[in-house]
């Protein structure tokens, strides 16, 4: 049996691990580093650069260097979040025919899934180099609050990269699995997961090797990128006030500022102030301009305290949904690179009245947990039981007047089956359209559409008389099946909800064949 790898596909950095005995081990990349920047760049000759190679030339090639692509996975171009992102990145975004977001490079259009696949493919290559053999299967992690489209986009990316996804596991659960296994912990654990692009809070109950997810909440557009952006805006504003020059539209200058902002943020986790020095940042007339500022930890915390405070209502809601108070939490895990920020450590310490666990590497623990999950699925760790995750968002149907009627509430442990009865709204109505939705908004049109099907042949009767039972089922792999039955005629119609990332199977197969042909050419050239 071949090796199964655990992959944490991050917004800023990605990591790959495997199971050795009963221990998760991180596989270093080809440059000897435990994590790989989630960055892809395309040179003028259309060569693809991944990770650090891409990062090193981002300043000179900003329009063809793609980063933070995880925030675009499974999203529509016209969505508010994507439009907001498009104003802050040097590369261009556009809409596909189906409304999905696409990345507009100088030579071609490419989907976020394909960019992510390039990162995953590199991680796969690192693992194969380490093992000396092919790797074909993976456990891959996603933010707990990803919806079905975003999860499917992640699975499609892995498929394009040549991997079969055995399971998609939530990042906080994965981190807790790695921690709980190694430490043999029991009790209630809060996992505060804030990475480069997303924030999740998950509450788990751990007892004798059983991991029970009680509740999860979060924001898929709150993370380290937002903290970096505050420093970027501060530097642009300071520069304009001092030099009377606006560099907000200078893509080359902005990329240098962005890299300096991220570096300064990291330094301020360990020092009280840092100097940001960018000589020759731009020219004005015949004069070169230089950017030099000193940023203190206090000022940085003042710039970003609202982002930290923004996470608290999510924590409160997650605790409320599982009937717990902060004092009921036994351990607090900080996951994700942004969790190193002293202000976040202080906030979680004050809120839960206990310090967070410090013996974890927040950049590696999610991938390690995914590797452990592979052992559970493969039966190598029979002494450990992992209860499946909860549904991150409610599932239901559209009813009268654009109303969303939840059938499976969020944070319901899966697998599960629930049936709810509905009726007709018109006299002698013979057909009912079942529109399956995912989300929390009371308006149906503001939630995510998963599937639509019709139940026909309903017995003719006055409005409100027929009883239509809508049956929702979610299995252990998160596959949703929905059926509707007219109790009078026993006519039944159902659908298996196959979440779409926006790419059709035919398109995915075409991309895979193109990749295989390219690999064959590379192999022939190397020989």
The residues annotated with a catalytic role in the active site are 8, 70, 171, 193
Q: How far is CA 39 from the centre of its chain?
A: 15
Count of positions (residues) in the chain: 527
**CB contact at 8 A, 303 and 203:** no
Taken in order 370, 374, 375, 379, the sign of the CA dihedral is positive
CB atoms within 10 A of CB 508: 19
CA–CA dist 181, 414 (Å, integer): 22
Nearest to 125 by CA among 189, 31, 247: 31
Nearest to 381 by CA among 8, 136, 20: 20
Q: Is 450 helix (H, G, I), strand (E, B) or coil?
A: strand
For residue 489, what is the DSSP state?
Answer: T
In the numeric block, the tokens 């995880």 are attached to: 70
**CB contact at 8 A, 429 and 463:** yes
Question: Taking CA 32 as the corner, what is the angle to CA 29 and CA 36, rounded to the nearest 5 degrees?
Answer: 40
Taken in order 94, 99, 102, 106, the sign of the CA dihedral is negative
**CB contact at 8 A, 235 and 250:** no
CA–CA dist 485, 55 (Å, integer): 55
**CB contact at 8 A, 105 and 62:** no
């Amino acid at each position: 049996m071949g090796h199964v790898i655990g992959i944490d596909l991050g917004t800023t950095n990605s990591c790959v691990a495997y199971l050795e005995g009963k221990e998760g081990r991180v596989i270093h990349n080809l440059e000897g580093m435990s994590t790989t920047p989630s960055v892809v760049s395309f040179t003028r000759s259309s060569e693809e650069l991944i990770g650090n190679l891409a990062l090193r030339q981002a300043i000179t090639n900003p329009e063809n260097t793609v980063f933070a692509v995880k925030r675009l996975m499974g999203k529509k171009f016209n969505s508010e979040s994507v439009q907001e992102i498009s104003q802050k990145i040097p590369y261009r975004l556009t809409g596909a025919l189906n409304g999905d977001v696409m990345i507009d490079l100088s030579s071609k259009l490419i989907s976020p899934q394909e960019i992510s696949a390039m990162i995953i493919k590199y991680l796969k290559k690192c693992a194969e180099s380490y093992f000396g053999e092919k790797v074909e299967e993976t456990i891959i992690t996603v933010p707990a609050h990803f919806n079905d489209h975003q999860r499917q986009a992640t699975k499609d990316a892995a498929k394009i990269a040549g991997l079969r996804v055995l399971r998609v596991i939530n990042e906080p659960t994965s981190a807790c699995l790695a921690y709980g296994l190694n430490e043999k912990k029991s009790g209630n654990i809060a996992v505060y997961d804030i990475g480069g692009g997303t924030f999740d809070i998950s509450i788990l109950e751990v007892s004798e090797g059983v991991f029970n997810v009680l509740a999860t909440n979060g924001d898929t557009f709150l993370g380290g990128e937002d903290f970096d952006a505050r420093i970027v805006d501060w530097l642009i504003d300071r520069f304009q006030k001092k030099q009377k020059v606006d560099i907000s539209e200078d893509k080359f200058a902005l990329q240098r500022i962005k890299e300096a902002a991220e570096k300064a943020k990291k330094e301020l986790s360990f020092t009280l102030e840092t100097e940001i020095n960018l000589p020759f940042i731009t020219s004005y007339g015949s004069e070169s301009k230089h950017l030099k500022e000193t940023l203190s930890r206090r000022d940085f915390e003042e710039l970003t305290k609202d982002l930290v405070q923004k996470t608290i209502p999510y924590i409160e809601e997650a605790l409320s949904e599982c009937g717990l108070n902060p004092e009921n939490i036994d351990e607090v895990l900080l996951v994700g690179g942004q969790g190193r920020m002293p202000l976040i450590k202080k906030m979680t310490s004050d809120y839960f009245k206990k310090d967070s666990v410090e013996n974890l590497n927040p950049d590696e623990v999610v991938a390690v947990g995914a590797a452990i999950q592979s052992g559970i699925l493969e039966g190598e760790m029979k002494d450990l039981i992992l209860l499946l995750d909860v549904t991150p968002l409610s599932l239901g149907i559209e009813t009268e007047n654009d109303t969303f009627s939840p059938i499976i509430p969020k944070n319901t442990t899966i697998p599960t089956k629930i049936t709810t009865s509905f009726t007709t709204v018109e006299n002698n109505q013979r057909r009912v359209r079942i529109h399956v939705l995912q989300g929390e908004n009371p308006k149906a049109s503001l939630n995510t559409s998963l599937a639509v099907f019709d139940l026909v042949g309903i017995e003719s009767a006055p409005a409100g008389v027929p009883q239509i039972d809508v049956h929702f089922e979610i299995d252990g792999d998160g596959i949703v099946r929905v059926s509707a039955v007219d109790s009078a005629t026993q006519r039944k119609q159902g659908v298996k909800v196959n979440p779409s990332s926006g790419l059709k199977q035919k398109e995915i197969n075409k991309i895979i064949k193109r990749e295989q042909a390219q690999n064959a050419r590379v192999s022939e050239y190397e020989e």
